[in-house]
Homo-oligomer: A and B are copies of this chain.
Amino acid sequence: MSMFPEYWVRFETPEGPRQGYLEGDAIQPIKGDMFGLWRADGAPVPLGQSRLLAPVVPPTFYACGINYEGHWRTAAEEFGLDLEKSWPGSPEVGYRAQSAIVGPGDPIILPMDVPPNVQVEAELAVVIGRCCRHATPETAMDCIFGYTIANDVSARGWQFEDRTFWRSKNSDTFKPIGPWIRCGADLHAMETRVFVNDDLKERFATHRMIHSIADYIVAITRYITLVPGDVIIMGTDGHAPQMRPGDVVRIEIEGVGTLENPVIADRR
């Protein structure tokens, strides 16, 4: 039996964010770094009395584009894209911004002037645990620390109006991540489910990607060094449901956890 913890968290303390791991219903704080050297440090804190933060703040935050067949078809139809041209022929990454990250339970705040169609993209987030360059298909998965969940909130009006995804995907609070990092999960047993106000809006087999996680890691590390804490969000499938102020968005990935965030309107 492995002694390595299965669930890693970051949580708020009066002294600032701390890392820890779950032991039953409690968080065991650590000293050191979950990706490197660490030891248990201090008394366990009841999970129910803690505010969890985004479990990782990636130095570089990678995002796969369209990476599931169902989303390829619905996105092309909904946004009037050419179906063939929007097919992702090879694994290429984009970037998301650290500035947009919030944690589980934190509100997704819709800017005053955001165009109405803001959508949930429920995505598996791969957390890197080791430096990796020039991975091969055989070694690629070895650099993974674990998995968490991301909501790649997307303001579609801005997405097609702007030259980049800056506002559409990176406005403050548009990148909820959490609730924790699950180590040792079985990707092939995962199912992703998206709920808005408890209504199931979409469900899909998490592993049925167009380009696999290993494909992406091989492609990225041909040119770029992945480092501990880097995150790659793997894309979503099917139709991305709309969210409105007052909604609560919940993303469940079987074997990983549940990420829930309320949606509110900015008052400024």
Contacts and interface: CB of A to CB of B under 8 A. Distances in A.
A223 B92 contact: no
Contacts of A57: 59
Among A92, A95, A227, residue most surrounded by chain B Cβ atoms (within 10 Å) = A95
A70 to B, nearest CB: 20
B223 A164 contact: no
B98 A60 contact: yes
Given A65-B163, A224-B170, A224-B172, A95 B92 contact: no
Given A95-B95, A172-B133, A268-B134, A100 B224 contact: yes
Contact of A92 (B98, B100, B166): B166
A223 B59 contact: no
B170 A99 contact: no
A32 interface: no
A133 B266 CA distance: 13
Contact of A59 (B88, B95, B99, B224): B99
B99 A227 contact: yes
Among A92, A94, A223, residue most surrounded by chain B Cβ atoms (within 10 Å) = A223
Interface in A213-242: 220, 222-227, 230
Interface residues of A, number: 33
Given A98-B59, A133-B172, A268-B134, A93 B223 contact: no
Among A97, A134, A227, residue most surrounded by chain B Cβ atoms (within 10 Å) = A97
A199 interface: no
Interface in A110-159: 111, 133-134
Given A95-B97, A170-B224, A171-B224, 10 more contacts: A60-B97, A60-B98, A60-B99, A95-B95, A95-B170, A99-B225, A166-B220, A170-B223, A172-B223, A172-B225
28 contacts: A57-B59, A59-B98, A59-B99, A60-B97, A60-B99, A65-B163, A65-B164, A88-B163, A92-B164, A92-B166, A94-B163, A94-B166, A95-B97, A95-B164, A95-B166, A95-B170, A97-B224, A99-B225, A99-B226, A99-B227, A100-B224, A111-B222, A111-B223, A133-B172, A134-B268, A166-B223, A167-B223, A170-B223
Interface of A: 57, 59-60, 65, 88, 92-95, 97-100, 111, 133-134, 162-164, 166-167, 170-172, 220, 222-227, 230, 268
